[in-house]
Amino acid sequence: MAFAFTVNNSGIPNVVGDHKVVTGTFTNGASDTGGTISTGLSYVEFFVVQQTGSAVTTDAPVANESFPLSSGDVTIVTDANADGVWYAYGR
């Protein structure tokens, strides 16, 4: 299985003033160590990624970007075979 992600809210973000909040999940295959999440936003100001599950992580998952990001695609780096959730805030 390859890296995959979902966008929750059926792709319809929560609106906060002139900003949007989008959430989702990510999954990795046995040897995958991250990938790119297309948030649906055109400008990302804040991004959080959190691993889920019962196993202890060796390294915390991170966004491999500098913010603010003038694109909605965020590349993340994780431990191999890690799954988790993400949260993006922007426009």
pLDDT of residue 56: 76
pLDDT of residue 14: 77
pLDDT of residue 8: 85
User: pLDDT per residue over 6-29, tens digit each?
Assistant: 888 766 667 888 899 999 999 998
User: pLDDT per residue over 24-60, tens digit each?
Assistant: 999 998 899 999 999 999 999 999 999 998 777 788 9
pLDDT of residue 88: 95
pTM beyond cutoff 0.75: yes
> Following DSSP, what letter does each residue of 39-86 receive, concatenated?
-S-SSEEEEEEEEESSSPPSS--EE-S-SSBSSSEEEEE--TT-EEEE
In the block, tokens 């979902």 appear at: 6
Burial class (CB in 10 A: 0-12, 13-18, 19+), 81: middle
pLDDT of residue 58: 82
In the block, tokens 């890690």 appear at: 82
Question: 3-state class of 3 per DSSP?
Answer: coil
4-90 belongs to CATH 1.10.3720.10: no
d(CA 41, CA 20): 8
Domain boundaries in the chain? Answer: 4-90
